[in-house]
Amino acid sequence: MLPRCAFSVCHVLVLVLCLSSAEDFDWTKNDHGSFYYGTFPAGFSWGAGSSAYQTEGAWDKDGKGLSIWDVFSHKKGKIQQNDTGDSSCEGYHKFKDDVSLMKELKLNHYRFSISWPRIIPTGIKSDHINEKGIQYYDELINHLLESKITPIVTLYHWDLPQPLLFFLLCDCIPCFSRSYKRNMVLHSRMVHIHLWSVAVEGYETGEHAPGLRLRGTGAYRAAHHIIKAHAKVWHSYDTQWRAKQKGLVGISLSGDWGEPVDISNQKDIEAAERYVQFYLGWFATPIFHGDYPQVMKDFIGRKSVQQGLGTSRLPTFSPQEKSYIKGTCDFLGIGHFTTRYITQKSNPSGRSSGSYFTDRDLAELVDPRWPDPGSEWLYSVPWGFRRLLNFVKTQYGNPMVYVTENGVSEKMLCTELCDDWRIQYYKDYINEMLKAIKDGANVKGYTAWSLLDKFEWDEGYSERFGLYYVDFRNKNKPRYPKASVQFYKRIISSNGFPNQREVENWRRKAVETCSSSNQLLAAARRKSKDHAEMPKVWPVHDEV
């Protein structure tokens, strides 16, 4: 066992941050092109990911406190089938088995998140540290490093301690920073994750924890404090830890691509750019350029005036804050899944009509020909990935990029390990990423989402993103490889796509191997006499 913090000097990248001036993105050039056979640059990092609440289980074990997702999922009617993450994949107890799966896949890195209620059970202001939580993450990280897998640690993936329910609506950055400095075991790379979803779905629509519906203000306020908190953590690490640990601190942003319905129509082009700026640019532009995108300030400000408000619903950064925030990103993480067609649509601006969605003045459309194998929001549109990566290159000075999430779900009642549609998705999206690198995008690594099937937030266990199938009906939560495991493993081993014949052979062999996995799963189910029920509602928590 490595001593605590021994991992902090291992497997580290060095970055000279480049913040060159933004270029203009060419909206009229969209070359879909044919499949490109070739390999990735030497040293490209291949990985898979997970998050704490979605996989760990053990929700009330070893001193762990309540998170906002524990409380939210225990309220009847919030999650499909009233599922919870109480046991999920039992990753807390099975992490050594999962690292063995990663070794079999030949992963270079693994992205996982820290459950802060497992470390600080009663909230950030408390001095009580749960040593068993620290020990768990120590052991996980050391086990990864012993297996020559680089840990990419997500500091926040939605499971805020329940006592901090309203934390993101308040300017509590100093106590946030103190806690993260005091309690965090810092690692070679760290990210904050999916900030768009945290803000919009947690504080605007209420679809996700903590379930607040603060229309037109909640998302903007939450995002504002998230950005400032991120900057505080980056500076704290930069001044106190970087020289010793030589690690990197970045931010991971989710970003769907928005494509103009008509690339010859300037209004559609402007609407598509608004879509991307209100999504990715909302967080990326302050971090790379010091302030919110001008289009957000203009549109939200004008809508606020039309509502009769004295000030914009979009908060403002002071000159000192702009300077403090700008440049706080050693690398940019991109979580990308799908694309939308975008067209101009004017929304009313009445006194009660303001919201994040109506502020944008646009409509989202999909092409009925796009494959949609699982989640209702996720269509397979590979060329949008290349477009997004090139947008990042031109807008933010071609920063170092790690793809922190990319994958596809299935939504079916029957068990199917021969996931040919996932193989196609990974093949096409990874190839578009390769094309973007050929275009000059500075992409250094890719993370398949996800290693395991897991709890999918408000969809419960009805959707599966995993490379490995998890039998949630079995109390031991066994894992079974899907066909996509073998296909992804071949991409990693070859560092890309060497030639057409070989890639077609990978697919054929992958589909052949999944038949035996299906038989093993079927046999295990026939033998099993003790299938655990899926976790249901716990009724004891107060309503927000």
DSSP 229-291: HHHHHHHHHHHHTHHHH--EE-EEEE--EEEES-TT-HHHHHHHHHHHIIIIIHHHHHHHHSS
State the DSSP H helix or E strand holding residue 73, giving kind and residue range, or none if neither: helix 68-73
Q: How far apart are CA 412 and CA 326, in angstroms?
A: 45
Cβ atoms of 140 and 152 closer than 8 Å: no
Strands, DSSP E only, in 108-249? 109-113, 150-156, 189-192, 248-249
Whether the CB-CB separation of 234 and 228 falls below 8 Å is answered with no
Give catalytic status of residue 405 as yes or no.
yes
Question: How many Å apart are CA 8 and CA 141, to the nearest integer?
Answer: 10
Distance (Å, rounded) from C-alpha 225 to C-alpha 220?
9
Q: Check 201, 273, 405, 459 and give the catalytic one.
A: 405
> Closest by alpha carbon to 80, among 537, 458, 472?
458
Eight-state DSSP code of residue 181: H
Q: Extract the runs of DSSP E, i.e. beta strands, from 130-188.
A: 150-156
Tokens standing for residue 103: 């070794």
Residue reference for tokens 């999909």:
366
Residues 6+ apart with CB under 8 A from 486: 506, 509, 510, 513, 514
Contact 365, 343 (CB under 8 A): yes
With 0-12 CB in 10 A as exposed, 13-18 as middle and 19+ as buried, what is 450? Answer: buried
DSSP 309: -
**How distant, in Å, are the alpha carbons of 4, 130, 199 from that of 145?**
12, 23, 33
* Contact yes or no for 488/494 (Cβ under 8 A): no
Residues near 25 by Cβ (< 8 Å), separated by ≥ 6? Answer: 273, 390, 391, 394, 395
Q: Measured between alpha carbons, how far is residue 105 from residues 100, 149, 287, 448 in Å?
A: 9, 11, 34, 11
State the CB neighbour count (10 A cutoff) for residue 243: 8
Tokens 């601006």 sit at which residue? 349
What is the rounded distance in angstroms from the CA atom of residue 533 to the CA atom of residue 414?
Answer: 17
Q: Are 277 and 356 in contact, with CB atoms under 8 Å apart?
A: no
- From the CB of residue 204, how many other CB atoms can be counted at a distance below 10 Å? 23
Residues involved in catalysis:
405
